[in-house]
């Protein structure tokens, strides 16, 4: 009888602990976003441009946070948030992506679940409307982590994702940026876009040389972290070049024990420095705070190596970090119902 009572009490205790662990805590839910970093200054900005960017950034924040407020997962939140920015021609991700040397729009994306450690990534997509959704499908509906090109597109079709004609991604401004770059600099590759020679009346979305990646990281009410990143890559890129975005640990990373990170910048440097994972590793192995770890990697390690850009990050306690070593970075966060959007160095 005593043995049975012991096991009953043990079972009840385990049940109580389990309930405590799964009870949602809405006080810490947090969403952080970025829309690219680079030479983004007031000198290259007009009130119209600034308003346009802030409107979409706020829309993205509200979309993702609404999911978190209702008890939705961090994965759902970051995917929905990134889709808003993929659908906007302001950013170099999805509609409005930059052109390759061959005159195509090639899209990359990645997503990672901090709870399970699972991740999905896609590269060189040309017909999938929302690459971030394709990346999640790879994570949840395949045994793989990364799919590229025609194989990734075939997979997306089989899974019923929205397929569009390649012309959907085209904007005349982006195409003209490619032509001007070819004319002025031959075959030299430049990151995202260059506003030289383009007046504000031609396109209010051109604000200077910039890394146009978009991304989101989130902490949900159940303590789960997630990260998502999406990009159109480099203007005039060749040879099927792929940057850091779909490389897990470089441009995208999430681990419930530490943090979730999404990066934007010169991809080659972020790959070589394994930026996103390095931040998490400093927290796990050296006990750094999120801010200290992010600053160490972005403001010291990357700068020393010549890499430009920034990251957004959130840890398991809802702390936020948004360091960047460039002139500016489209960024914002929302926590406890209060949001903030910024563009320049404060």
Catalytic residue, from 39, 213, 231, 235: name it: 213
* 235 within 8 A of 193, measured Cβ to Cβ: yes
Sheet holding 320-321, edge to edge: 252-254, 259-265, 309-315, 320-321
Residue 102: other Cβ atoms inside 10 A: 11
* H helix count then E strand count, the chain: 10, 13
Radius of gyration of the chain (CA): 21
Residue 282 CA to residue 155 CA, distance in Å, equals 36
End-to-end CA distance of the chain: 68
Q: For residues 333 and 262, is the Cβ–Cβ distance under 8 A? A: no
Query: Is residue 103 left, alpha or beta, with left meaning phi > 0 and alpha meaning psi from -120 to 50?
Result: left
Q: What is the chain's percent helix, strand, coil content, to nearest 5?
A: 40, 25, 35
Q: Are 208 and 40 in contact (CB under 8 A)?
A: yes
- Whether 189 sits among the annotated catalytic residues: the reply is no
Residue 238, phi then psi, degrees to nearest 5: -130, 170
Which are the catalytic amino acids? 213
């Amino acid at each position: 009888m005593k043995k049975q009572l012991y096991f009953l009490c043990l079972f009840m205790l385990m049940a109580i602990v389990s309930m405590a662990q799964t009870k949602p805590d809405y006080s810490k839910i947090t969403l952080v976003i970025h829309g690219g970093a680079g030479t983004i200054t007031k000198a290259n900005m007009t009130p119209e441009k600034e308003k346009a960017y802030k409107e979409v950034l706020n829309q993205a924040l509200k979309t993702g946070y609404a999911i978190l407020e209702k008890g939705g997962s961090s994965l759902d939140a970051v995917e929905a948030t990134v889709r808003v920015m993929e659908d906007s021609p302001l950013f170099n991700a999805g509609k409005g992506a930059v052109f390759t040397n061959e005159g195509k729009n090639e899209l990359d994306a990645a997503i990672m679940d901090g709870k399970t450690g699972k991740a999905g990534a896609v590269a060189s997509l040309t017909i999938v409307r929302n690459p971030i959704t394709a990346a999640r499908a790879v994570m949840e509906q395949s045994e793989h982590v990364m799919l590229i090109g025609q194989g990734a597109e075939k997979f997306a079709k089989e899974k019923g994702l929205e397929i569009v004609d390649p012309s959907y991604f085209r904007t005349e401004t982006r195409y003209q940026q490619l032509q001007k770059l070819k004319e002025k600099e031959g075959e030299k590759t430049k990151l995202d876009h260059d506003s030289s020679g383009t007046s504000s009346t031609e396109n209010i979305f051109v604000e200077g040389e910039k890394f146009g990646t978009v991304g989101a990281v989130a902490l949900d009410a159940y303590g789960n972290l997630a990260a998502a990143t999406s990009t159109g890559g480099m203007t005039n890129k060749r040879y099927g070049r792929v940057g850091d975005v779909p490389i897990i640990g470089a441009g995208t990373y999430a681990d419930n024990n530490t943090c979730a990170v999404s990066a934007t910048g010169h991809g080659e440097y972020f790959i070589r420095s394994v930026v996103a994972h390095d931040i998490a590793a400093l927290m796990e192995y050296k006990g750094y705070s999120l801010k200290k770890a992010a600053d160490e990697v972005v403001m010291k390690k990357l700068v020393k190596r010549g890499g430009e850009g920034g990251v957004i990050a959130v840890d398991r306690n809802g702390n936020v970090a948004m360091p960047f070593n460039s002139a500016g970075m489209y960024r914002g966060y929302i926590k406890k119902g209060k949001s903030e959007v910024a563009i320049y160095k404060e």
